[in-house]
């Protein structure tokens, strides 16, 4: 019997009692029997209603928990789609998008840098040590830039850094500080001492420039720094 059937049975009994009382045809024993039957039906309906409430509360809690898990999964997926798995920095796609957005908003400085002789590090010490080098540099740069700046891993051993609200001269000072910091930070990997240096290209980007033009310019500056002996900065600006 469903909850609806129980409720219908109750209603019918109440109607029987009401009709009999109205017609003065209900004896005491008959009334007692009908009331006992009604009470039994009511108690059964009450128990099943309470069970439904408990079930509903449990399902509501389960749905809330599932909703929280789905929200967290969505956040995790969004983070993973925007960040490099090894370093936790913005990945190439996301940092490119940020540069393009910044170009529509204001002037800023852009630094493209990579690790000198990184292939030699991988060949001599293995890719595990190479990964540790990448993570070390990512941490050093993140810890020594402002919250309004952006840092991404552009691919392989190459990184890109956006410096906001700084002149070219201030940006050169920041780049030099980072270059020296990296040069003086020797990685100790299970007793292996790995010395690291980086070469940097730095350019001042003007609002409404095209991303491809900006990237070609800073990339050329990076390679000029490498040709000039590595572990150095090559900078320029656009009028």
Q: Residues with catalytic annotation? A: 157
The helix (H) or strand (E) run that includes residue 236 is: strand 233-237
Rg (the chain; Cα; Å): 36
Pairing between strand 192-194 and 187-189?
antiparallel
- Give the angle 128-132-137 at the CA atoms, nearest 5°: 150
Rounded Cα distance between 232 and 202, Å, is 11
**E strands of 88-205, at which residues?**
108-115, 150-155, 158-163, 187-189, 192-194, 198-205
Nearest to 110 by CA among 174, 19, 55: 174
Nearest to 237 by CA among 203, 207, 210: 203
């Amino acid at each position: 019997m469903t909850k609806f059937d129980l409720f219908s049975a109750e209603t019918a009994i109440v109607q029987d009692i009401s009709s009999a009382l109205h017609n003065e045809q209900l004896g005491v024993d008959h009334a007692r029997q009908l009331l006992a039957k009604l009470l039994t039906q009511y108690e059964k309906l009450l128990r099943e209603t309470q069970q439904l409430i408990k079930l509903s509360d449990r399902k509501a809690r389960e749905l809330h928990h599932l909703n929280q898990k789905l929200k967290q999964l969505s956040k995790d997926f969004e983070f993973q789609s925007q960040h490099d798995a090894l370093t936790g920095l913005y990945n190439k796609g996301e940092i490119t998008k940020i540069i393009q957005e910044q170009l529509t908003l204001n002037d800023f400085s852009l630094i493209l840098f990579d690790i000198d002789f990184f292939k030699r590090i991988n060949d001599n010490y293995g890719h595990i040590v190479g990964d540790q080098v990448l993570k070390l540099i990512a941490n050093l740069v993140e810890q020594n830039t402002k919250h309004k700046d952006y840092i991404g891993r552009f691919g392989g051993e190459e990184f890109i850094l956006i410096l906001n609200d700084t002149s070219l001269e201030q940006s050169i000072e920041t780049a030099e500080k980072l270059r020296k910091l990296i040069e003086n930070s020797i990685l100790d990997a299970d007793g292996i001492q790995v010395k690291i240096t980086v070469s940097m290209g730095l350019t001042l980007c003007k609002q409404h420039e095209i991303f491809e033009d900006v990237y070609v310019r800073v990339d050329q500056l990076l390679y000029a720094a490498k040709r000039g002996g590595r572990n150095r900065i090559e900078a320029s600006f656009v009028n």
